[in-house]
Every structure is written in C-alpha cells, then in structure tokens.
Structure 1
Amino acid sequence: MSSNDDVRSLVSPVFFRRHRGLYFTALTVLIVLFSLIFLFPLYWMITGALKDNQEIFSPQPTIIPQSFHPETYLTAWKNLRIGHYFLNTLYYSVGVWFFQVLIDVTAAYALSRLRPVLGKLVLAGMLATLMLPMTALLVPAYLTVTDVPILGWNLINTPWALWLPGAANAFNIYVLKRFFDQIPQDILDAAAMDGAGKFRMLWSVVLPLSRPVLAVISILSIIGAWKDYLWPLLVLQDPEVQNLSVALTRLAATSGVVPFTQLLAGLVIASIPMILVFLVFQRSILRGLSAGSMKG
C-alpha cells in the first residue's frame, strides 16, 4: 500500500505541510479574484439601474451610486412591459424543456436499449452536429421553419419555431445514452420477467433511476431557452411574441426614447429567475454531472 506522500496532486503533501499558510493565502486570493471577475458585471448592472442618467453616463464612473433610485425597477416593469415578455419567455422555456426531454429521452433509450439497425451511425451523425458552429445551421434551420417540408407550414412568430428545432439536442441524447448504458441489465431483465414491456421499463425503471441526469438536462435546457437570443431574434419578428432577450435588445435600439437605467433594470429582472434556478438546483447539477457509475 502507498503512503500519503505518494499521492499525486498539484500540491504535494510535503509542500502543503511546510507552506500551509502560503497555500491558503494563494487559494483565498484566487477565490476572491475569480469571484470579483464573475460578480462585478452583475453588481455594475444592479447598481447602474439605481443611478440617474447623468451619473450612469458620467466620464468618471462611480462604484457606489451617489444617487439612489430603486423606483427605476418598478418604472421599467411598467414602461417596458417586462411582465408581458417575462410570461412569453417562461412559456417558450417550458415548451422547449418539455419537447427536449420527451424527444431526447426516447431517442437515447432507443439507441441504448433497443439498439436499432444503424443506431451507431445515427448516433455518430448526431454527434457530428456538435462539431458545427451554431451559425452554420441558422440558414437551413430558418428555411425549414419558414416552409416545413411536406406540410408547407410557416412557423415564424409561433412557439413551434422555438420548440421543434430545439427538441433534438445531440449533447443531451449522448449524455442520456451514456447514463442508460450503465444501468445494470439485471434490473431490466427482472422487469421483463415480471411482464414489463419496453415502454413500461422506460417509465417505471429507467426514468426513476435517471433522476440526477434528468435534473441536469432539464435545468440546462430551461436556462438555455431563457437566455437564447440569436434564434428567437430570427423567428420572433412580431414584437408582441418576442422573449425578454430580444425585446430588451429591440428597446435598447430606441435608447433615445427609453432611459438607459430602465434598460439595465430590465436586464436585472430578466436575469433573476436563472440566478435563482442555479442557486436552488446547483447541488442537483453537480450530482447529475458526477452521476457516471451505478452499483448493481
């Protein structure tokens, strides 16, 4: 058996024991530095909405607001119709989550347990799409939603323009398939002996065992749909059906009409739900990402 001194790490145990104070000092400095890098833009946005327009555009920026106008948030909520766009975004995000989980789970289960003919080729084709930049797929995707093949439907300015293209996510399918592959076959064989069919196995055995990875997929899909900008900008051309990110950008183009502090307040309000989602479900995200092995 090897001793503790044989453990390989970035900092050896011997160095750690001799320079414990230096190690914790460097660690603290790095944590504070990275925290400032990530949190300062958020702080600047929150405090910027509390300032007046003269202070926000001052050549000498102020870290701590010299003026305090918390009513800007309420004014922005009313004047920018944040509530309307907020409900639009929530509606789109829930729909993207539902169809993404529905399609990705069934596709991953089929590739993992049903093993169709040419299944490996289909999976390879899905993974190949991850190598393409998103901008390369915008034109064919846009042409598809403007004239759906065979049906001839135009999905512009409808929720389906967001829901259908985002339903099949190659990354989610790959992650789910890898997780399904690690479910012990004995469990599925026992369910089959009890008379469970393929769908029953998926609903009663596979999905309950896959809660950690399903939580990660769900959270990432909702966050991705909430903050998505480029694709909704193309397919949601009617201002009444736009989501928050597109609507706020459109309003920012009319900055001569809408005060900049109100735009900052709108951005803060738009970011609050996803920050809360991450803070509440961060443990589920970490557990799901580390769920790579199962005991039989």
Structure 2
Amino acid sequence: MTTSARRATARSGRPERPGRTLVSAAQWRSRRGRIAYPVILALALLAFTVAFVLPLAWVAVGAMKSPQELATVPPSVLPSTWHPDTYGTAWQYMDLAKYFLNTLVVAVGAWAVQLAVQVPAAYALSALRPKLGNVILGLMAVTLMLPAAAVLVPTYLTITDVPLVHVNLVNTPSAIWFPAAANAFNIYLLKRFFDQLPADLLEAARIDGAGPVRTMWSIVLPLSRPILAVVSIFAVVAAWKDFIWPLLVFPDPARQTLSVALQRFAPDTPINLLLAGLVLASVPMVGVFLVFQRQILAGLTTGGVKG
C-alpha cells in the first residue's frame, strides 16, 4: 500500500477501494454516495430476483388453478380456488415415476462417464504436457464455437454405428453417456484448475516414486474437490434438462426422459397438469443448486490452492 493510500485509510478509518471504478473515491465518501449505493444495490437485487423468481412462482401457482381459470384473460395472480392435489394427479396421470427413473439413470451415468474421461484428459494436458497438447487443447476450444445443431447429425450417425465395434446405441442410455464425455468446456475448466496446483507437490510425489496415475489419484483429486463438484453439477444438470438429443436417441416412449415425455404429453394433457409436471421435473435441479451453490461459486472462483 502506498503512502497516500495509508493516509487515506487513516483519515477515513477504512481501506481505500482498489483499482479504478466508475465512481471516484471522493464520491464514495460523500453523503450522497453512502445513501445512493445501498439504494441502487437493493433495487438491482430486487429487479434480478423478480426476473428470475417470478416465472417460477407463476408456474408453481398456476399448476394449482383450474384449466378454465388458466385460460381467462386477463390472467389472475392467485387461484380463486386452490387445487394442490393437481401435483399428485399429474404424477399419476403421466406416470412421472418411470420417467424420473429414466432421467436419473441417464444423469448419473453421464456424470460418471464424464468424470472418468475428462479428469484424466485434463490431468494429462496439464501435468504430463504431451508434445501436441496445445494443439489438442486448441482443437477442443474450436468445438466450443460450433453450434450444438451442427454436430447433431455426425454424432447421431456415430452412435447408430459405433466405429470399430459396429454397435447401435439407440434406445440405450449409452447413447447419451458417451457423447457427453466429449465436453471441451469441462476439460478446459479442469485443466485450468490443475495448472494452479503447486508444482513442488507434484515433483515431491514423483521423487517418492509415485507414477502419474498414483499422483492423480492420491494427490490431485483430493485437492480438486471444488472443481470436481462444479463439473459434477454441470454434468448432472445438462443431462437432466437436455431435450433435443434424448428426443433423437430415445424413439421408444418407455425409455424417454422427463423433458421428452412432458413434451409428448403436452397436446393431450390439461394445462394445469402439464404445469405441475414441469414444476415436479425442475424441483431436483433447483434443490441441487440451492444445496451446492457455495461449491459452484467456490469452484469457479478458485485460482489456487491454499497451503
């Protein structure tokens, strides 16, 4: 801290704000600044809260209205008569238990396959540093710039006739598990985290006789719990909410996931039951975010390892 910063800290009783911002330090210390900042912050937080929470609340409350009330114009804010039993009816009417189980199998399998492939790949690019590692990483980065629709046809042709083994994976969870492993964003995220691990620690393990696999298993993975939690959540959420790819690879209605099944029921299902099904389908992922939001933020902002 410079001498002028120390003097400013001594005069104000609080540390000087670092860096250059849109508001000068003098404006922050003024009476107007001390009043305007919390007011603007509160209004911004309120606006974002309304923008994100209001649609969810409307769907959850709308499911407890009758179909006739949902069709009224202008729409009512609260139901004139509450029908909380709509959720139970929707669960039985659309047989959601079966589709929840299908989605759970797909999501858990996609999570396991992604970690089994992406963690060693990122560790190899970070610690082992192969000769063409930068080229491979660059090619992976290029795939992030392609729209998802551009790779649908090649990926579908691949899973209908898997190279070398010539197996058709349509109507099996493997049709989602294996393509999900090729996630360049997660590999890049893991590699960036592994790059921040202390080199001295890895060198000490090598001197003690630990090979690359033992080092990854015993040292790297225990230190990488924050980023592993983030990648795990991304993998589960992506598999749970995906629609286009499950629609293509699960033509059998009995094997479809929640997102596809709800779309199939939509034309012939009362609107309140469909809204209830949407709410029930989103509850697990909302719960995952609320429970693990600290791990998500910690994993995305961690730039090093505390010694």
Report the equivalent of 1:266. 277
Deviates more, 1:149-158 or 1:272-281: 149-158
Matches within 5 A, 1:91-130: 91-130=105-144
Q: How many residues align?
A: 293
Matches within 5 A, 1:1-296: 1=2, 2=5, 3=8, 4=16, 7-17=19-29, 18-19=31-32, 20-252=34-266, 254-255=267-268, 258-295=269-306
Deviates more, 1:241-250 or 1:4-13: 4-13
Percent identity of equivalent pairs = 54
Distance 1:194 1:10 in 2: 53
The answer (yes or no) to whether the contact 1:92–1:225 under 8 Å persists in 2 is yes
Task: Mark the runs of 5 or more structure 2 residues left unpaired by the alignment.
Answer: 9-15
The answer (yes or no) to whether the contact 1:48–1:56 under 8 Å persists in 2 is yes
Offset at residue 182 of structure 1 (A): 1.6
Deviates more, 1:196-205 or 1:108-117: 108-117
Distance 1:246 1:11 in 2: 49
Equivalent position amino acid for 1:176 in 2:
L
CA deviations over 1:142-201 (Å, ceiling 9, x no partner):
111111122221111100100000012101111111111121121112112222111100
Offset at residue 66 of structure 1 (A): 1.2
Equivalent position amino acid for 1:260 in 2:
I
Offset at residue 7 of structure 1 (A): 4.6
The answer (yes or no) to whether the contact 1:96–1:221 under 8 Å persists in 2 is yes
Distance 2:86 2:138 in 1: 51
Q: Structure 1 residues 6 and 292 mapped into 2: Cα distance closer, same or farther (>3 Å)?
A: closer
Distance 2:259 2:214 in 1: 40
Report the equivalent of 2:11. none
Equivalent position amino acid for 1:125 in 2:
L
Distance 2:240 2:290 in 1: 16
Deviates more, 1:185-194 or 1:214-223: 185-194
Q: TM-score, normalised by structure 1?
A: 0.95
Report the equivalent of 2:12. none
3-state SS, counterpart of residue 180 of structure 2: coil
Equivalent position amino acid for 2:157 in 1:
L
Deviates more, 1:117-126 or 1:129-138: 117-126
CA deviations over 1:227-274 (Å, ceiling 9, x no partner):
11111111111110000000001111x33xx21100100000000001
3-state SS, counterpart of residue 164 of structure 2: coil
Deviates more, 1:124-133 or 1:191-200: 191-200
Q: Structure 1 residues 74 and 141 mapped into 2: Cα distance closer, same or farther (>3 Å)?
A: same
Task: Mark the runs of 5 or more structure 1 residues left unpaired by the alignment.
Answer: none
3-state SS, counterpart of residue 166 of structure 1: helix
The answer (yes or no) to whether the contact 1:5–1:14 under 8 Å persists in 2 is no
CA deviations over 1:77-119 (Å, ceiling 9, x no partner):
0111111101111110000000001100010111111222312
- What is the RMSD of the two structures over their aligned residues, measured on CA atoms? 1.4
The answer (yes or no) to whether the contact 1:5–1:12 under 8 Å persists in 2 is no
Distance 1:64 1:222 in 2: 33
Equivalent position amino acid for 1:36 in 2:
V
Equivalent position amino acid for 1:284 in 2:
Q
